[in-house]
Each structure stands twice: as structure tokens, then as C-alpha cells.
Structure 1
Amino acid sequence: MVTFPNAKINIGLQIIEKRSDGFHNIASCFYPVGWSDVLEIIPAAEFSFSSSGIEIPGDPAKNLCVKAYELLKHDMDLPPVAMHLLKIVPIGAGMGGGSADAAFVLKLLNTTFHLSLSTFDLENYARKLGSDCAFFIENKPQFCYEKGDQFADISLSLKGKYIVLVYPNLHISTAEAYAGVTPQTPDVNLSEALQRPIPEWRHCIKNDFENGLFLKYPVLPQIKEKMYEKGAIYSAMTGSGSTIYGIFEKETDLQNIFAPFTVWKGEL
């Protein structure tokens, strides 16, 4: 069985307070986009995990895909599988690629082996793997709060709009991003701001990580400004990573403009 774990963007990201467990309470809108990895899982004589494409740092045995399998196997009678991940979505880019991979492992195992796990069950397993993993179970636009693992439905659709994502080949760790931000009570109600016309978002919806990271990495605000120059109706950094996206009314090819970087475009 093959599936395609997709990335997400953050439309607004407010860092509200640090929690007693070391995490942060946030407010954000998570929105799925089509930039995807490729994940294959097949029954096998013994368990194995392999990957190709972008090199994944660290011990493969500690990959989130492996952890997702082990998490279910602890509670279920799962047979061994051979798992292969073609890694396409950049790492440390703020798009939740690794979280999506883990969530899609849970979903694919559930369907392949008829585990009869509900959406509620799958989200609870996903929360054990990472703060934004649970989002990718339903994989639809959501208003996210607490650690980013609690959701409220939101009536936001960008259908018919186009997106360009630019990853400047710059890996930013979550720890590095949080080191440059001071949690604070937001002065804008994000859920209300998201209901405004998209061109107004530029003035009221922001990613709190931008302040610190834009000073440290000048290429980031340069990309954002170029997005607006080329007609974006909204542009921002996504997550705690370095990817900048622009939302456009019509399909826009900026590959030549951002030639040194990794660029993806698609319809929302």
C-alpha cells in the first residue's frame, strides 16, 4: 500500500505562554498543502524501515515512522512490515513533514490491517508522537490551540487560490526558533482575523517566530517581500521553520526568481 503524506502551512502562529511541561501554548490555523512525501508499507517476514530522497538525519530506528509502528504494535497484533519513505518535503522547514509521515503510518496500518481504529483513537496515538501529528489524521483546515494538538473546526477555504512555497535550504530547529521568541497574550483574536478578506491578513495575521528569525536570517524577509512584489495576496513564514509561502489569485511560477532555493507550487 502506498500513501502520500502531505505538508501543511500555518496561517498565523501565536506563541501565547510556556507550559509547565516545557511545551508552549499556541494559536494557529493549520492548512494542508499538496507538497508530499511517498510512503509504502507492505507485509514482510521481518520489520524494516528504509528511506530515499532527502537524507534524514539521526538513527533510522528512532524515525517517527518507526515509532508510529511500534506505538500501535504495543497495543495491537501487528505483523512485521517493510516500510519505505521517499522523503521529498524538506526537513526543518516548518511544514510538519515528519509529523505527517508518522500520522500517515498510523492511518495506513489502520486500513491495511483492519484495526478499526476511529479518528479519535488515531489522533490520540498521534499526540504521543508529536504536537502537530494529530492534525494530519483528519488532514483538513483546523484552528489549533494548546500545544497545537487540540482542534476546532474553522470555516476557511482557500479553494481556487494558488500557493508558492520557498524553502531557502536553511534548516531551523524548533529549539532555535523558540529561543528567539517571547510568549505573550495576543493582541489579535486569530480566529476572528481569519474571517477577514485575505488581503487584510497582511496587517493583522502574523507568525510570532518571524521577528527573531527574520533578524537572524535576512534572506527570509527578502523572500517574503519578493512574494508581495510578485502579486501575493498574503505571505508569511510557516511553522518554526524557514519556508516562506505566498498565496496568489492565479497560478504563479517563481522558480526562476528563487532559483537557488527549493520551490513548490500548487493549487489550494
Structure 2
Amino acid sequence: MLDFPNAKINLGLYVTEKRPDGFHNLQTCFYPVRWCDALEVLPSEKLQFDMTGLPVPGNPETNLCLKAYKLLQQDYDLPPVHLHLHKVIPMGAGLGGGSADAAFALRILNQLFELGLEDDALENYARQLGSDCAFFIRNKPVVATGRGDEFTPINLDLSGYTCVIVHPGIHITTAEAYGSIKPQQPSCSMEMLLKQDVKVWKEVLKNDFEEALFPKYPELPRLKEQLYEAGASYAAMTGSGSAVYGLFKEAPANLIFPAHYAVWQGLL
């Protein structure tokens, strides 16, 4: 069975407080985009996992797809499978690619072996794998709070906008990003901010990590400004970085980036 785990962007991101468990509470909006990996799961005589595409650092045995299989196996007598992941979404970019891979692994295994798990149950499994994994179970726009794993559906439709996402090859770890953040409450709720027209988001919708990371990585504010100069209605860093995206009413024709940058452009 083959599926295509997709990325997400953050529309605004506010780190509101540090929690007693060491994590942070936040407010953000997750919005799915069509930049995708590919994940195939097939029955096999023994458990196998391999990858192609972008190189993923670390031990493959710790990959979230494999962890998703083993998590379900604790509760269900799953036969062995061969998981093959073709990695396209850049890592350390704030696009949620690894979380999507894990969530789609759960979804595929649920279908393949007819486990009958509803979305609520799949989300509960996904939360054990990562803070934003559960978003990719339903894969619809939400306001996320808590650690980024508590969701409120939001009626937000950006279809017709062209999204351009640029990853300059900078890998920002979660620890680095949160280590330089100063938690604060936003002036008003995400729901109220997102009800305003996209063309005024530039003035009201912020990503707290920009203030912390832009001075350290000057390529990022330059990218954001380049997207605005090309006509973006709104541009921002997504997640804790380092990808920067722009939303355009009409597809831009004058954007040129260095050859080593990873770039995706498509309709939302």
C-alpha cells in the first residue's frame, strides 16, 4: 500500500509558556500543503525498513515510521512488513515531514490490516510519537494549542493561493530553537487573527521564532523579504524553522534561488 505523507506550514506561532514537563505551550495554526514524501508498506516475511531520497541522519532503527509499527504491534498482532520511505520533505525545516511519515504509517497499517481504528484512536497513538504527529491523521486546518497536539478545527480555506516554500539548507534543531525563545501571550487568539484578511496578516500574524532565529541566520529574513518583494500577500518562517514560505494570489514568475536551496511551489 502506497501513500504520500504531506508537509504542513504554520500560520502564526506563539510560544506562550514553559510547562513543568520541560515542553512549551503554544498557539498556532497548522495548514496542510502538498509537498510530499512517499511511504510504501507491504507484507513481508520479516520486518524491514529502508529509505531513499534525501539522507536522514541518525540510526534508521529510530525512524518514526518504524516506531509507529512497533507502537501498534504492542496492542495488535501485526505480521511483519516492509516499510520503504522515499524522503523528499527537508528535515529540520519546520514542515513536519517526519511527523507526517509517522502518522501516515499508522493510517496505512490501520487500513492494510483492517484494524478498524477511528481517527480519535489513531490520534492518540500519533501523540505518543511526536507533538504534531496527530495533526496528520485528519490532515485539515486546525488551531493547535498545548504542546501542539490539542486541536480545534478552523474554517479556513486558502485554496486558490499559491504557496512557495524555500528551505535554504539550514538545519535548526528543536532544542536550539526553543533555547532562545522568550514565552509570551499573544495579543489576541489565533482564531481572531486568522479571521482577518490575508493581506493584513503581515501586520498582525507573527512567528515568535523569527525574533530569536533571524539574527543568527540572516538568510532567513532575506528570504522572507524576497518573497514579499515578489508579491506575497503573507510570508513567514514555518514552525521553528528553517523553511520560509509565501502565500501569493497569483503564481510568482520572478523568483530565483540558489541551486542548493530546496523549493516547492503549488496551489493550496
Q: TM-score range by the shorter chain?
A: over 0.9
Deviates further, 249-258 or 84-93: 249-258
Name the amino acid aligned to 1:88. Answer: V
1:1-268 residue pairs with structure 2 within 5 A? 1-253=1-253, 256-268=256-268
The answer as to whether partners of 1:170 and 1:242 remain within 8 angstroms in 2 is yes
What's the secondary structure of 2:211's corresponding residue? helix
Distance 1:42 1:189 in 2: 44
For structure 1, the residue ranges without an aligned partner over 5 or more in a row are: none
Secondary structure at 1:212 match in 2: helix
Distance 1:61 1:260, change over 3 A: closer
Query: Which secondary structure state, in structure 1, belongs to the residue aligned with residue 136 of structure 2?
Result: helix
Give CA-to-partner distance per residue, 1:129-168, whole Å, 9 cap, x none: 0000000000010111001001001011101111000000
State the AA in 2 paired with 1:173: T
Preserved CA contact (<8 Å) 1:255 1:263: no
Offset, 1:188 = 3.0
Supply the distance in 2 between the matched residues of 1:68 and 1:255 (Cα, whole angstroms). Answer: 39
Preserved contact between residue 174 and residue 240 of structure 1 (Cα < 8 Å): yes
Alpha-carbon distance in 2 for matches of 1:220, 1:73? 42
1:186 Cα deviation from its structure 2 partner: 1.5
Aligned partner letter, 1:56: V
Instruction: Give the direction of change, closer, same or farther, for the CA distance of 1:47–1:185 in structure 2 (3 Å limit).
Output: same
In structure 2, distance between residues paired with 1:250 and 1:79: 48
| Structure 1 contact 32–141 (Cα < 8 Å) conserved | yes
**Contact 1:31-1:141 at 8 Å conserved across structures:** yes
CA distance in 2, matches of 1:253, 1:74: 51
CA distance in 2, matches of 1:2, 1:26: 33
Give the Cα separation in 1 of the matches to 2:19 and 2:70: 28
Q: TM-score normalised to the size of structure 1?
A: 0.98
CA contact (8 A) 2:17 2:24 kept: yes
Counterparts of 1:74 and 1:235, CA distance in 2 = 43
Equivalent-residue separation in structure 1 for 2:259 and 2:91 (angstroms): 19
Secondary structure in structure 2 of the residue aligned to 1:14: strand
1:152 counterpart SS class: strand
Residue 216 of structure 1 aligns to a residue whose secondary structure is: coil
Q: Aligned-residue CA RMSD in angstroms?
A: 0.9
Please state how far the C-alpha of 1:253 moved relative to its aligned partner: 4.3
- SS of 1:52's equivalent in the other structure is strand
Shift of 1:258: 4.5
1:184 Cα deviation (Å)?
1.1
Are the counterparts in 2 of residues 166 and 258 from structure 1 also a CA contact under 8 Å? no
CA distance in 1, matches of 2:257, 2:14: 30
Paired with 2:183 and 2:148, the residues of 1 have a C-alpha distance of 15
CA contact (8 A) 2:230 2:255 kept: no
Give, as a single letter, the amino acid of the residue that structure 1 aligns with 2:263. Answer: V
| Amino acid across the alignment from 1:145 | T
Code of the residue aligned with 2:52 in structure 1: it is S
Indicate if the aligned counterparts of 1:161 and 1:247 stay in contact, CA closer than 8 A: yes
The worse-fitting range, judged by mean Cα deviation, of 40-49 and 184-193 is 184-193
The DSSP-based 3-state class of the residue aligned with 2:101 is: helix
**Which amino acid is the alignment partner of residue 242 of structure 1?**
S
The 3-state SS of whatever aligns with 2:67 is helix
Percent of aligned pairs with the same amino acid: 53
* Greater than 6 Å deviation, 4+ residue runs: none
Q: Residue 234 of structure 2 contacts residue 246 of structure 2 at CA under 8 Å; is this kept in 1?
A: yes
SS at match of 1:210: helix
Give the secondary-structure state (helix, strand or coil) at the position aligned to 2:215: helix
Deviation at 1:260, TM superposition (A): 3.9
3-state DSSP of counterpart to 1:121? helix
